[in-house]
Amino acid sequence: MASSRFSCSICLDDFNNPKIIDCHHTFCEKCLADHIRTFSHNNVFTCPLCRRNISVPDGGVSGFSSNFYLEEALMSSEGKEGSSSKYIPRCDICKKENSSQFRCVECDQFMCQPCKTTHDSIKSCSSHVVTGLDAASIKKAKKTLCPRHSQEPLIFYCRDCMLTACYRCSVTIHSGHKIVDIDSSLRAEVSQELKKLQIDLNNQRIQFQDQLDFLKAEKLKIQNKSQVTCQQVESHVETICKEIRKVGRELQEEIEKNCATGVKTMDDHIINMEKIVAQAHDNLMKTTELLDDDTTVHMVNYLPNLCLQRQKFTDIDVVVPDVKITDFHIGDLNLELLYQQVGRLEFREICVFQSKFDLNETVTQGGMGREFNVKKQLRCHIIVQKEAQSISSILSATRNPKPGEYPHPLTNDFVFHAVLVNKDERKSLQIKLNESVTENQTFYIFKWNNLLDWKVLSDVKNGFIDDEKKITMKIVAWVKLRYRY
């Protein structure tokens, strides 16, 4: 298998006529053509690597730009000892891949052996210069010949168009322009510009990397804050549930207490009634026994007593004792009240402004200022300046009025705090406001005095300044949006 640096992701072999598509991925021209033929729909296909939708150019696969960087790298690798990557262009006549052995300078075409034979047999081509194919000739053909005039080398540079040109282009499309020779002096000039560009691009990369790191840190803060807030909700809901369960247990205890009192009262009456029932049963059995007795004397002797017992039982009133029966009336579930009991969500939008301040400029009178807007509603201005032996900061805020209106009063919907950024985030200086915005104010100034000792700040080892002697101040504005119960 070919080295991943020079291999096509479709065929997994060395690139052959590499074509770069809109998403900047590169494939062999033939592999790309086969992929488009199989998977395209309405002249649109998905990149095999990133799945992005790519439109097929008017000229088909050949309309995609060639990846000259890879072609050049492949040619360079061909000359290295032990290299397994060997780039052989396809024949420009029969279009066979990896078959070229020759190149016609006048036609600017690569040819295989059969096509060279045909080419040489044509009378108009018999005088053409045909060279054998090697890395040097391919590189020369790709880099030094004019794309408009294949026989002309690129020997001039047009400063107006910032393009290289051959002689014919210099006297036609670049006529009247500032034309210079491509020589060592131009190379030195361009090299100097490239070095400056390299420094600027590196600074931009560092700046963007700082922003990327900041965004990732803010994302982590959002996730952590969400997790902590959810835990707070869960904990408070559990507290409310405990109280509700406590109320439920109290109700159940009251029900059980009332039940115990009623059951005891009923048990006392039941015991008494069981005694009466037993006595009545004994009287009945005695009466039955006397009726079966042949002795009249016994019957006469017991009759008065039984009559007395009957009268006694007749006078007994069977009364059901008074007991309390407990019913439970289910209360109405008031969701609004329940939300109020659980708590409310306060939605706040975090607007962050971050800028670097030159340490030397903060010494000047008035310090160094930056302007920024918060949600297009507040116009803010921050100044960082040196005072005595420390550094201070001033933040002013006023509402942005609509056209034809006076500035609206500020409200406490905006809360500010500042951060003096340290390379070690844990050592960053968090600066909170001592005062909050009150209503009916159209302009407000927040001032943070004696933020940090100047000696501590200006020492690179403490992490508050970078290599360019700049400090980073971050202003965080919390904007209250709405509540939800």
pLDDT at 367: 53
Complete DSSP assignment for 344-390: -EEEEEEEEEEEEEETTGGGSTT-EEEEEEETTTEEEEEEEEEETTE
pLDDT 10s digits, 306-332: 888 888 888 777 777 787 888 888 888
pLDDT 10s digits, 47-96: 988 888 999 887 788 878 777 677 666 666 554 444 444 567 778 888 88
Phi, psi of 480 (to 5 degrees): -75, 125
CATH placement of domain 345-484: 2.60.210.10
Query: Would the pTM of this model clear 0.85, i.e. be above it?
Result: no
From-to residues of CATH 2.60.210.10 in the chain: 345-484
Q: Are 372 and 473 in contact (CB under 8 A)?
A: no
Token pair recorded at residue 289: 């026994």
Token pair recorded at residue 66: 């060639």
Q: Which of 240, 411, 427 is nearest to 339 (CA)?
A: 240
Biggest CA pair distance of the chain: 169
* pLDDT at 482 exceeding the cut of 80: no
pLDDT 10s digits, 251-302: 999 999 999 998 998 898 889 889 888 988 988 898 888 888 778 887 888 8
pLDDT 10s digits, 113-162: 889 888 888 888 877 778 877 654 454 444 456 777 766 778 889 999 88
pLDDT at 441: 58
pLDDT 10s digits, 404-447: 555 555 555 667 778 888 888 778 888 765 544 444 556 667 77
Domain boundaries 1-87, CATH class: alpha beta
* pLDDT at 187 exceeding the cut of 90: no
Identity of the residue numbered 134: D
pLDDT 10s digits, 350-403: 777 778 887 676 555 455 677 877 766 777 888 887 777 777 777 777 776 666
Cα separation, 9 vs 19, in Å, equals 12
pLDDT at 78: 53
From-to residues of CATH 3.30.40.10 in the chain: 1-87
Q: Looking at per-residue confidence, does 297 or 482 come out higher?
A: 297
Q: What is the dihedral of CA 26, 32, 35, 39, to 10 degrees?
A: 80
